[in-house]
């Protein structure tokens, strides 16, 4: 298994290439000067010059996935008798360095490039070829004895490589980053739900007082939301495990061995220890990215859930004196540059900002996924970038919110009881004894007179004190 780093984001800031010292590389368009201290070749250099857009570099997890594909392809092509063993060994060694992140400085391209991801595929081909040439004692840039297209890209097209890299990256990150983060949050919420199962508090609907429930019951709802989020993420995986490799240019498999698709998928499954398989229909795998749109939808739903939880927690912790104040949130840092002693619910704020970003990412993925014309979707890089960013943000935010907020949150028992006892909606317990209309009369009088429910009921002659104390028991109102 080749596993090292699982960061979804862009690689760390690269060292600047030495532009004063260059070598000449070539492609089908001619020659071009490339920094001598970099392994990339002509096509990468042209992309650098032609797409000076933004600063969002191709995510690290995509680079890793490209390395996995090139490593697995070298093995598969060797086993099928198409690639010399010595060349395959050198390609695998170079691809392994890509997988481990050792060559990140040689992947400078931004997301905003060709919609097929061709330039990033060629970036991988060129880097791996030149590194393999170096390992074999050859001259970097010579394309001999390892050629970026003929050997590193053998049996492949950018059109099936990049969607496969998208699938590998998003599947790995979902399994190894997102789901563990969500489980961490769910377990912490469950711990609070269990601990607070006997704390009776007032419920709220429409931002108004409602009937009582326990604080544990309230948090159990959050537990279920996150549990469903984990299930939603897991349900996307079977489609993400389907690889486009073997479809080559338009899905027909031209220039690949008939056994290549299944065998390279099996090799990738072995390298990643995830159950990748060859996509049953390569035309769909190249022309559409419905699996990625499905993933974006799951991520969006998870963001919606976490937005609700984050907002509830910060409102329940509002105050400390003029708000609800039912929860005491951890005081992690000063909250104001002008108001001394102020502490803010910053973890909830960070979490909800992440959720807003993820929701926006899902919109972009939906637009990109719906615009795959004919045999090839050409929005691949932005789909990959947005989904991987959403995965990373949600996984990170779930852990941060858990460790820096939920774990240290405690109930304010005095405030909870005070608010619960003062609520007019406790009158609901009287419905089955004196009827809805009489109960409503008590609530309205108590509100108008600023009196208690008992005082209002006695004044209206609708019950006795003994009856009120028997019928209105908040702890009995939290179950059927």
- Rounded distance between C-alpha atoms, residue 388 and residue 101, angstroms: 17
CB of 96 closer than 8 Å to CB of 50: no
Residue 1 has pLDDT above 70, yes or no: no
Which DSSP symbol is given to 176? I
Please state the rounded mean pLDDT for residues 446-465. 97
Rounded Cα distance, 259 and 251, in Å: 15
How many Å apart are CA 99 and CA 168, to the nearest integer?
12
Question: What integer pLDDT is reported at residue 128 of this predicted model?
Answer: 98
Q: What percent of the chain shows pLDDT beyond 70?
A: 97
Distance CA(436)–CA(291), nearest Å, equals 52
Which residues have C-beta within 8 Å of that of residue 376, sequence separation ≥ 6?
Answer: 116, 159, 250, 286, 287
Residue from 4, 144, 336, 422 carrying the catalytic annotation? 336
Helical ranges in 101-157 per DSSP H: 118-135
- Asked if residue 320 has a cis previous peptide bond (ω within 30° of 0), the answer is yes
Q: Is the pLDDT of residue 449 over 70?
A: yes
Round to whole Å and give the CA distance between 243 and 277. 6
Across the range 130-146, mean pLDDT stands at 98
Mean pLDDT of 235-250: 98
pLDDT band of 17, cuts 50, 70, 90: confident
Q: Is the pLDDT of residue 318 over 90?
A: yes
For residues 105-114, average pLDDT:
98
Largest CA distance in the chain: 102
| HSE of 229, CA atoms in CB hemisphere, 13 A | 32
Q: Is the pLDDT reported for residue 178 higher than 90?
A: yes
Question: Is the pLDDT confidence value at 446 over 60?
Answer: yes
One DSSP character per residue, 406-435 reads: GGG-EE-HHHHHHHHHH-GGGGGGGHHHH-
pLDDT tens per residue, range 375-414: 999 999 999 999 999 999 999 999 999 999 999 999 999 9
Q: Which of 93, 147, 177, 206 is catalytic?
A: 206
Return the CATH number of 35-154, one of 1.10.10.10, 3.40.50.300, 3.40.50.620, 1.10.275.10: 1.10.275.10
pLDDT digits (tens, 9 = 90+) for 339-375: 999 999 999 999 999 999 999 999 999 999 999 899 9
What's the pLDDT at 3? 42
Residue 22: which H helix or E strand, with range?
Answer: strand 22-27
pLDDT of 9 higher than 60: no
First to last CA, the chain: 53
pLDDT at 13 over 80: no
Cα–Cα separations (whole angstroms), residue 447 to 241, 356, 419: 60, 39, 15
In whole angstroms, what is the distance from residue 72 CA to residue 50 CA?
A: 31
Rounded to 10 degrees, the C-alpha dihedral 158/161/162/163 comes to 120
Tell the CATH topology of 424-476: Ribonucleotide Reductase Protein R1; domain 1 (1.10.40)
Q: Can you tell me the distance from the alpha carbon of 131 to that of 323, in angstroms, rounded to the nearest whole number?
A: 62
336 is an active site residue? yes
pLDDT over 90 for what percent of the chain? 96
Q: Are 242 and 285 in contact (CB under 8 A)?
A: yes
pLDDT tens sequence across 319-333:
999 999 999 999 999
Contact between residue 376 and residue 287 where contact means Cβ atoms under 8 Å apart: yes
Q: Which residue has the higher pLDDT, 19 or 256?
A: 256
Residue 261 has pLDDT above 50, yes or no: yes
**Residue position matching structure tokens 């304010």:** 412
Q: What residues does CATH 1.10.40.30 cover in the chain? A: 424-476
Which residues contact residue 141 at a Cβ distance below 8 angstroms, ignoring those fewer than 6 apart? 23, 24, 25, 34, 41, 130
Whether the per-residue pLDDT at 46 is higher than 60: the answer is yes
pLDDT confidence bin for 20, thresholds 50/70/90: confident
Does residue 206 carry a catalytic annotation?
A: yes
Tell me how far apart the alpha carbons of residues 407 and 398 are, in angstroms, rounded to a whole number. Answer: 12
Q: What is the mean pLDDT of residues 25-54?
A: 97
- Over its C-alpha atoms, the chain yields an Rg (Å, rounded) of 30
Position 443 pLDDT exceeds 80: yes
What pLDDT, on the 0 to 100 scale, is given for residue 14?
Answer: 56
pLDDT band for 4, please (50, 70, 90 cuts): very low
**Are the C-beta atoms of residues 429 and 473 closer than 8 Å to each other?**
yes
Q: What is the DSSP string of 200-231?
A: EEEEEETTEEEEEEEHHHHHHHHHHHHHHHHH
Class of residue 234 by CB neighbours under 10 A (exposed 0-12, middle 13-18, buried 19+): middle
Closest C-alpha to 286, from 160, 154, 113:
160
Mean of per-residue pLDDT scores for the chain: 96
Which residues make up the CATH 1.10.275.10 domain(s) of the chain?
A: 35-154
Cβ atoms < 10 Å from Cβ of 386: 24
Is the pLDDT reported for residue 11 higher than 70?
A: no
H or E segment at 205? strand 200-205
Predicted pLDDT of residue 49: 96
Tally of CA atoms within 13 A in the half-sphere of 5 that contains its CB: 22
Give yes or no for residue 10 having a pLDDT over 60.
no
Q: Which residue intervals of the chain bear CATH 1.20.200.10?
A: 161-311+344-410
Write out the CATH class of domain 161-311+344-410: mainly alpha
Rounded mean pLDDT, 269-278: 98
The position carrying tokens 């910053």 is 346
pLDDT value for 66: 98
């Amino acid at each position: 298994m080749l596993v090292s780093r699982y960061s979804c984001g862009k690689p760390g800031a690269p060292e600047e290439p030495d532009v004063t010292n260059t070598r000449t590389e070539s492609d089908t368009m001619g020659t071009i000067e490339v920094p001598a201290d970099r392994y990339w070749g002509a096509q990468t250099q042209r992309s650098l010059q032609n797409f000076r857009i933004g600063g969002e570099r191709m995510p690290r997890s995509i680079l890793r996935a490209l390395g996995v594909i090139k490593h697995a392809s070298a093995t598969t092509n060797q086993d099928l008798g198409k690639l010399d063993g010595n060349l395959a060994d050198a390609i695998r060694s170079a691809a392994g360095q890509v997988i481990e992140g050792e060559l990140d400085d040689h992947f400078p391209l931004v997301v905003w490039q060709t919609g097929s991801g061709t330039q990033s595929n060629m970036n991988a081909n060129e880097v791996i070829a030149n590194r393999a040439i170096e390992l074999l004692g050859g001259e970097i840039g010579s394309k001999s004895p390892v050629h970026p297209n003929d050997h590193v890209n053998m049996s492949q097209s950018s059109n099936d490589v990049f969607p496969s890299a998208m699938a590998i990256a998003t599947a790995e990150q979902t399994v190894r980053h997102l789901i563990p983060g969500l489980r961490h949050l769910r377990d912490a919420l469950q711990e609070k739900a269990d601990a607070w199962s006997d704390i009776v508090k007032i419920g709220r609907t429409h931002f108004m007082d409602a009937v009582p429930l326990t604080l544990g019951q309230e948090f159990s709802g959050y537990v279920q939301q996150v549990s469903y989020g984990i299930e939603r993420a897991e349900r996307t995986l079977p489609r993400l495990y389907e690889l486009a490799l073997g479809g080559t240019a338009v899905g027909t498999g031209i220039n690949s061995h008939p056994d290549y698709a299944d065998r390279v998928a099996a090799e990738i499954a072995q390298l990643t220890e995830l159950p990748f398989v060859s996509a049953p229909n390569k035309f769909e795998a190249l022309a559409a990215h419905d699996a990625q749109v499905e993933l974006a939808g799951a991520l969006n739903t998870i963001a919606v859930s976490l937005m609700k939880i984050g907002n509830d927690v910060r409102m329940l912790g509002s105050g400390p004196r003029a708000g609800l104040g039912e929860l005491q949130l951890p005081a992690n840092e000063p909250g104001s540059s002008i108001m001394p002693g102020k502490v803010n619910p910053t973890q909830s704020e960070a979490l909800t900002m992440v959720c807003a970003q993820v929701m926006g990412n899902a919109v972009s993925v939906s637009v990109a996924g719906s615009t795959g014309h004919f045999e090839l979707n050409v929005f691949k890089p932005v789909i990959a970038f947005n989904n991987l960013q959403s995965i990373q943000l949600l996984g990170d935010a779930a852990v941060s919110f858990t460790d820096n907020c939920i774990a240290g949150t405690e109930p304010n028992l005095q405030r909870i009881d005070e608010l619960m006892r003062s609520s007019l909606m406790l009158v609901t317990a009287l419905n089955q004894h004196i009827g809805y209309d009489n109960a409503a009369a008590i609530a309205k009088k108590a509100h108008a007179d600023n009196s208690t429910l008992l005082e209002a009921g006695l004044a209206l002659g609708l019950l006795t004190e003994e009856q009120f104390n028997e019928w209105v028991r908040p702890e009995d109102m939290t179950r059927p």
